[in-house]
């Protein structure tokens, strides 16, 4: 058999497998439709983050190669997204415009079948979900190099919404312009966080070029698309969406530049077996009080993954403490530790228990 005939035979086998895959996908979709009818009758949410985490982890464990593990995740993200759309429509609000990193995070979590709706501010994301125009919202919460997004923390304190899931997104910044030529760049625009994450690179390569802060990396791309003298620090997706050229790629100062995003919704999420709980509390200012507040978690051997403080508005020198811990609020040990904490709090709010994103 010749080489070409051999390839033809292999391709026919691939075609046969593809046909089986399509049949199996439709079998899966039919089952999803039946689940959707049940959810509708029992008034359950279409999006179940704990179940989706379980599905993706199980199929990744089943994969023995040679199909790449990251591709398995991407394929099943879209399979789940398509099947979820048959259960019912899903509207998701996200902060920023198309091609922002929050947009990328929302698409990573919900897939292409969800309706993703841009908003102008973080507070607007919370409003869209609170008022029922979106089932869920996606907002940034912290970056591995630049720290927390204070506005998101403030909204979490004031809102009745719950954290439903978290997303970790690798951030790679591109310098984009209409021409793609460095010598044409007279001003660089981007979101303050993006500028901060590329500070050293800008000093090395464009030290004499002024920078300007704008509302988002997508707004920066829009401005650069309309003015040939501007370059925007934005995402690779923005290059395609706004028809720009690359001046330089991967310009972030830290190669491990990761942003954590939160999915917010109206209802709590059942345990997945690998969860986080986020809460916020305040205490009366007494010697050693913070040490005593954390003792219940140490006694229960609960791992605290994050603690952050924020000044309380209109109360100078008083603080809110934000805490992330391993475990779900329904677990006995977590419930006991939180009860021990609450005894000494002047304020305590559980912002949500949700599947760990890592």
For residue 1, the model assigns a pLDDT of: 46
Helices (H), the chain: 3-41, 49-62, 69-87, 101-110, 122-130, 150-158, 192-197, 199-205, 217-226, 236-241, 289-299, 332-342
Q: At 219, list the tokens.
A: 């707004």
| Catalytic residue list contains 259 | yes
Per annotation, catalytic residue among 94, 110, 136, 261: 261
Summarize the confidence of residues 38-56 as an average pLDDT.
Answer: 89
Summarize the confidence of residues 67-90 as an average pLDDT.
Answer: 93
Per annotation, catalytic residue among 136, 259, 277, 321: 259
**Integer Cα distance of 233 and 295 in angstroms:** 44
Query: In this structure, which topology does domain 175-249 adopt according to CATH?
Result: D-Maltodextrin-Binding Protein; domain 2 (3.40.190)
Q: Are 275 and 328 in contact (CB under 8 A)?
A: yes
**Long-range contact pairs involving 329-337 (C-beta distance under 8 Å, separation at least 24):** 329/268, 329/277, 329/353, 330/270, 330/271, 331/271, 333/300, 333/301, 333/302, 334/277, 334/300, 334/302, 336/296, 336/300, 337/296, 337/297, 337/299, 337/300, 337/302
Peptide bond into 199 cis (omega under 30): no
Q: Which of 188-192, 256-260, 288-292, 328-332 has the lowest mean pLDDT?
A: 288-292
Domain with CATH 1.20.59.10 in the chain: 3-83
**Integer Cα distance of 358 and 336 in angstroms:** 25
Global confidence as pTM: 0.88
Q: Name the class of domain 3-83.
A: mainly alpha
For residue 2, the model assigns a pLDDT of: 52
Summarize the confidence of residues 64-90 as an average pLDDT.
Answer: 93
| Catalytic residue list contains 119 | no
* pLDDT tens profile 128-184: 999 999 999 999 999 998 889 999 999 999 999 999 999 999 999 999 999 999 999
Pairing of β 136-143 and β 258-265: antiparallel
Q: Name the class of domain 91-171+258-264.
A: alpha beta
CATH number assigned to the domain covering 270-355: 3.30.70.260
Domain with CATH 3.40.190.10 in the chain: 91-171+258-264, 175-249
User: Over the chain, what is the mean pLDDT?
Assistant: 93
For residue 93, the model assigns a pLDDT of: 98
Percent of the chain topping pLDDT 90: 79
């Amino acid at each position: 058999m010749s080489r070409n005939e051999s390839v033809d035979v292999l391709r026919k086998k691939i075609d046969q497998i593809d046909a089986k895959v399509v049949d199996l996908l439709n079998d899966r979709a039919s089952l999803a439709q039946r689940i959707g009818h049940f959810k509708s009758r029992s008034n359950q949410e279409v999006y179940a983050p704990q179940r989706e985490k379980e599905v993706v982890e199980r199929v990744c464990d089943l994969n023995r190669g040679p199909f790449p593990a990251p591709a398995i995740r991407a394929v099943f993200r879209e399979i789940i997204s398509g099947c979820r759309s048959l259960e019912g429509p899903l509207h998701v609000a996200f902060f920023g415009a198309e091609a922002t990193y929050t947009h990328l995070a929302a698409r990573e979590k919900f897939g292409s079948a969800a309706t993703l709706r841009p908003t102008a501010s973080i507070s607007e994301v919370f409003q869209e979900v609170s008022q029922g125009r979106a089932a869920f919202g996606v907002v940034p919460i912290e970056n591995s190099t630049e720290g927390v997004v204070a506005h998101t923390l403030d909204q979490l304190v004031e809102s009745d919404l719950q954290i439903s899931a978290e997303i970790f997104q690798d951030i790679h910044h591109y310098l984009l312009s209409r021409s793609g030529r460095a010598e044409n760049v007279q001003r660089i625009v981007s979101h303050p966080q993006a500028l901060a994450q590329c500070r050293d690179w800008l000093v090395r390569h464009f030290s004499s070029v002024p920078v300007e802060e704008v509302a988002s990396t997508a707004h920066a791309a829009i401005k650069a698309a309309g003015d040939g003298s501007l370059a925007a620090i934005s995402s690779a997706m923005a290059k395609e969406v706004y028809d720009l050229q690359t001046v330089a790629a991967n310009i972030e100062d830290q190669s491990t530049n990761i942003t954590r995003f939160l999915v917010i919704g109206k209802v709590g999420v059942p345990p997945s077996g690998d969860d986080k709980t986020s809460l916020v509390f305040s205490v009366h200012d007494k010697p050693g009080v913070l040490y005593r507040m954390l003792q219940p978690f140490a006694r229960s051997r609960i791992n605290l993954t994050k603690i952050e403080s924020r000044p309380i508005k209109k109360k100078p020198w008083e603080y809110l403490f934000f805490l992330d811990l391993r475990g779900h609020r329904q677990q006995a040990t977590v419930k006991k530790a939180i009860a021990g904490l609450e005894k000494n709090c002047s304020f305590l709010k559980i912002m949500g228990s949700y599947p760990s994103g890592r």
